[in-house]
Chains A and B, each alone.
Chain A
């Protein structure tokens, strides 16, 4: 079986009151589901790797094939837990190691 290629996304969210991890992940799943349906969401291979409430950042893992799809879904998020919000993809990387290297350059 071929190895599934993945990408790691460092995302930053803008919101007044920081949501908890569950609420953030729910918003991401809801956005993917809304735009691409359950079938599309199943292809995305979404997983939350880390969540930093203080920095308002998170690292999400996705399947490479679904990268554009997830990017669009993240961009379509306008509210998290009933509060107006925006989610921006700061950087994309193939490994967590290089993502952390880039992270220091982004912030």
Chain B
């Protein structure tokens, strides 16, 4: 069966429509059939509709994704309460340990993203992984950084990623590989992303899963939950009425 490849972190900016259109078309051409564009709580419904339309034009499935950059645990909880049911995917950009821990244990969070290049500020350690495995959150790795960085900075990043992958494997935390790029020439084919993942210790099958099965399962799970008849995993309302 043909695999569905996904890029859950494509920086297509709806404020630059031509660039965004090109980027989405390019992703489709490279073999992605599921795309998520990070948006903020301030992104308008019009922009979301436009992105959905552009994805539809090139024949890719659009996933609504919200990126949260909370400054405190309280703010994270408030934002999740307010926006969780409006988006198919919620990613928390973890810029402090406090946020990272809260995001990992919250079952409303789908992806944890650690943007810092400084290993001291990448909080995906054993404690974080244990919390994430108890919740439902996966670890998102942006391949754009691996491409852009050079020399010592890339060596340090790869070293951090190797450690994080080993921890994720130990605690069965799903890993999703995304592009995280906004430039056309930094987009890579899914199999190339999988090959690059070998640099931080994912074997070939795991890496291919990380650009296909893992993110697709994440999106399917959430779409099921967002349906009106959803009660609990495996239970949904089939029919309502007096004769039931």
A residues lining the B interface (CB < 8 Å): 14, 34-35, 68-69, 71-72, 74-76, 78, 84-86, 88-89
Contact = CB atoms under 8 A, between A and B. Distances in A.
B189 A68 contact: no
B198 A72 contact: yes
B30 A35 contact: no
Given A76-B147, A78-B147, A88-B30, A35 B199 contact: yes
Interface residues of B, number: 19
Contact of B196 (A34, A76, A84): A76
Interface of B: 30, 146-148, 150, 184-189, 191-193, 195-196, 198-199, 204
B128 to A, nearest CB: 27
Nearest to B183: A84
A68 B185 contact: no
Contacts of A78: 147-148, 185-186
A74 B192 CA distance: 8
Contacts of A71: 191-192, 195
Contacts of A85: 185
A86 B26 CA distance: 12
A68 B207 CA distance: 12
Nearest to B151: A34
